[in-house]
Amino acid sequence: MYMETDFTQQEILLNMDARFLTADWCLRNETDKPDTRTEKEKLEEACWNGVLREIMPELFRSSVDARGLTLWKVRNMESVLELELSDYPAVVDKYYSITPHLFLAAQEFN
């Protein structure tokens, strides 16, 4: 039995204070009903709907993109959205993570 040993995992942190993360690319509210969602909630929905490749194409220009990474998880933190993309769902290795609460915990052991 052959097991695939190549695994690609990518983490992206979206800073909610960044100006380019405005609602310009979010789905427009086409009803008369007011949209009460926060900008972060709109961004999270847009990421699940595939807009990430449009707003940040430079992240997907490598050979990694050819493999077709899937968005598996979106974590809503205080000032950022953390996105986890990979070939298949997997636990993020704390030692290699860019997520502050994960890598800072690993730093204490060094």
Give me 73's structure tokens: 């998880």
- Domains of the chain: which residue ranges? 9-23+36-107
Q: Quote the distance between the C-alpha of residue 67 and its chain's center.
A: 17
Answering whether pTM is above 0.85, one says no
Q: What percent of the chain has pLDDT over 90?
A: 3
50-98 per-position pLDDT tens digit = 888 887 888 777 655 545 788 899 988 888 888 998 888 888 877 778 8
The answer to whether the Cα torsion of 90, 94, 96, 97 is positive or negative is: positive
Distance separating alpha carbons of residues 40 and 16, to the nearest angstrom: 7
